[in-house]
A and B are shown apart, each in its own frame.
Chain A
Amino acid sequence: MSQQPLVELHGVYRSFEKERVRIPVLQDIHLNVYPNEVLCLVGESGCGKTTTGKIIASLLDASEGEVLYNGRRMAEYDRKERSLIRRQMQLVHQDPFASLNPAHTIGQILGYPLKRHKMVNGRAELRRRIWELLTLVDLTPPGDIVNKFPHQLSGGQRQRVSIARALTVNPKLIVADEAVSMVDVSIRIGILKMLHNLRDMFNLAIVFITHDLALAKYFAWEGRIAVMYLGRIVEIGRTQDIIANPAHPYTRALLSAVPEADPNLTRKKQPIPLRSDEIPRLTAIPPGCAFHPRCPFYQPGVCDVSVPRLAQAPGYAQDTACIPLTTGEQLVPYGT
């Protein structure tokens, strides 16, 4: 991927203040998002997926580090360019019910950004564009939908409306944050296929945030996955490489823990047990590798001393942040 990334995160840190305590939420994030790619962020609750997504979409600033959009810092653009770039990054939320104004019709919800950003000229064009957008997200016939209110639609239809709204401003990148987590399993696939089609049609990049690994694998099969743990990326690479040959002990544990919708397959799996079930608090992140208190391959005196950096380990195509692996050692179970 030698092309110019849409977004680059270089050594990004982000923290929040809560009751005078500083909570480090993201640490030393290095991540590029390329045009037209699918990038999945996975990891357990609280690991920083949404925060990363918001920084990518320029909805949140980094506390430290550099974020580049089309190769330059936001500050290097003038006001007009900044607003254009902001518009090119759209976020689709998990809960369309919360993000769609209940008092507005679907037509108004889509019309508002079109008018505000002067994407259309005149009423006829506005109407035509709304019709077109609804058709793009398979809400047809559009005439049945435009005058409805969000509560008159099913969860899946509402999520299609939020995607249509994101498309009003001709984005280059969509951050879909748990965008199908609240819709039924049976209709998720339809929305994901639609997202893929839109991506092809408009050359979109999609950052797909999920805690569902099977879904990540399905959606990003031709793309990349970044696995996060306690505010850091612990493994990143092509989905196919990571699924077939996970490197980081945390990734291995996650993949081995996921039940499969296939009785033989799931009963044959051997979950890798961790040394502890407890997820450390962000205010007390363990020293060295943050995963070391739970890691089944922990090496005392090594893993708890220095912070592992993302690098390619021998035998793996993807990058991983695990000291023994990147120094070319075999992982051995702790205590043997």
Chain B
Amino acid sequence: MSNVVLSVKNLSMSYLAARGRVRAVNNVSFDLHAGETLAIIGESGCGKSSLNLTLIRQLPTSAKIESGQLLYTKRDGQQLDILQLSKKGLQKFLWSEISMVFQGALNALNPVIRISDMVYDTGKAHGLSKAESRKQALDLFEKVRLDPMRVFRAYPHELSGGMRQRVLLALALLLRPQVVIMDEPTTAVDILTQRSILEVLKELRRELNFSILFISHDLAIAAEIADTIATMYAGEIVEIGPVYEVFYHPRHAYTLSLLDAAPRLSVGAEELHSIPGSPPDLIEPPAGCKFHERCRLATDICAHTVPPIEIFNGNHRVSCHHHQIVRKEREEVIQS
């Protein structure tokens, strides 16, 4: 595969709450390659957004990054640790190297500021002249299939939800970052709007070749756009691997359960299953495998021993005591 742009190593972060420390990101490691789309999937509250916010250091004051490294490689090969950047250094770094499109982004646009002013402000903070910013923005608006001049002069409220989402995508790309982080960018939009955003995104990605870190609880979108899937549970990445591997040959019981709960429109009658219970408390998580209380494959060992990390085929990393059973079960389902 191509070069690693962002290498996350043993990252842990927690929030200080009244009852104790909420361990929202726990010893997370992964590499993001140039041009790669990595989708992080998992239930609500598993720490997806927290991981995101840690990567770009936009955490509330109650949060503490406890350990880890965020090694980032610039286009010229220079390497840096995002966690070591000064406040000013971080400001320069965001948008130009890593940018983001947030969850519920429809509200992310300030209603009293014209789109053009947002473009100028963002450009100016990174040393672009007004003319340069404008040219870049109009070009990107065209690429995301918006009417460039109309949108440039508009206030956010004059645009539909889908248009605003595309404006945000264009703004995120204004300074040609290598990485764009997207947190549920298509939740709360309609099917056809979601489709046009996905198509635009795929086109942009082909043309501009940036990497995407995509956070979603929607397995279908992940299946469509990701090269790599990471399953997150209780603050940890429990499985990560190429999209076809994870969908057709998963090795973690939690991934298997997520797949078992996802209906597919064009597959006729389906036998689906819920995951019992709800995600665990992140202040006092269960011992052993954190999923064991909800796992239908769990045995004694799962309740007291943390499953070791195992690597298959070089790039499929899993920690599940019963990965062999998982693999076999899914294969039987696929064959039937």
List chain A positions with a Cβ less than 8 A from chain B: 44-45, 154, 156, 184-191, 193, 211, 213-215, 217-218, 221, 240, 243, 253-255, 257-267, 269, 271, 274, 277-279
Contacts and interface: CB of A to CB of B under 8 A. Distances in A.
Contacts of B190: 44-45, 211
A215 B223 contact: no
Given A271-B199, A277-B192, A190 B220 contact: no
Interface in B176-226: 190-196, 198-199, 217-221, 223-224
Given A44-B190, A184-B217, A266 B263 contact: no
B301 interface: no
17 contacts: A44-B192, A185-B217, A186-B274, A189-B273, A191-B274, A193-B274, A214-B264, A254-B191, A255-B265, A257-B194, A259-B198, A259-B223, A259-B224, A260-B264, A261-B220, A266-B224, A277-B192
Taking each of B217, B265, B269, which has the highest tally of chain A beta carbons within 10 Å of its own beta carbon?
B265
Nearest to B166: A277
A260 B223 contact: yes
B160 interface: yes
B85 interface: no
Contacts of A215: 263
B263 A186 contact: no
A271 B243 contact: no
A189 B274 contact: yes
Contacts of B257: 186
Given A154-B278, A254-B192, A260-B220, A265 B198 contact: no
Given A184-B44, A213-B191, A262-B247, A267 B224 contact: yes
Contacts of A258: 191, 220, 265
B16 interface: no
Contacts of B199: 271
Given A44-B190, A188-B274, A261-B263, 13 more contacts: A185-B218, A188-B261, A189-B263, A190-B274, A211-B190, A243-B266, A257-B194, A257-B195, A258-B191, A262-B223, A265-B264, A265-B267, A266-B223
Contacts of A45: 190
Interface in B210-246: 217-221, 223-224, 243-244
B265 A260 contact: yes
Contacts of B221: 259
Closest 7 CB pairs of A and B: A190-B274, A257-B195, A259-B220, A261-B262, A218-B263, A44-B190, A261-B219
Nearest to B163: A277
Contacts of A263: 223-224, 243-244, 247-248
Contacts of A254: 191-192
Interface in B263-295: 263-270, 272-276, 278
A185 B272 contact: no
Contact of A277 (B44, B196, B274): B196
Contacts of A265: 223, 264, 266-267
B196 A189 contact: no
B247 to A, nearest CB: 5
Nearest to A193: B274
Contact of A253 (B192, B223, B258, B268): B192
Contacts of B276: 190
Given A186-B43, A211-B190, A260 B266 contact: yes
A186 to B, nearest CB: 4
Contacts of B273: 189
Contact of B274 (A187, A211, A217, A253): A187
Contacts of A243: 265-266, 268
A153 B10 CA distance: 33
B286 to A, nearest CB: 17
A264 B223 CA distance: 8
Contacts of B272: 189, 218
The winner among B194, B257, B263 for most chain A CB atoms within 10 A is B263
Nearest to B217: A185
B205 to A, nearest CB: 14
A243 B269 CA distance: 11
Nearest to A258: B265
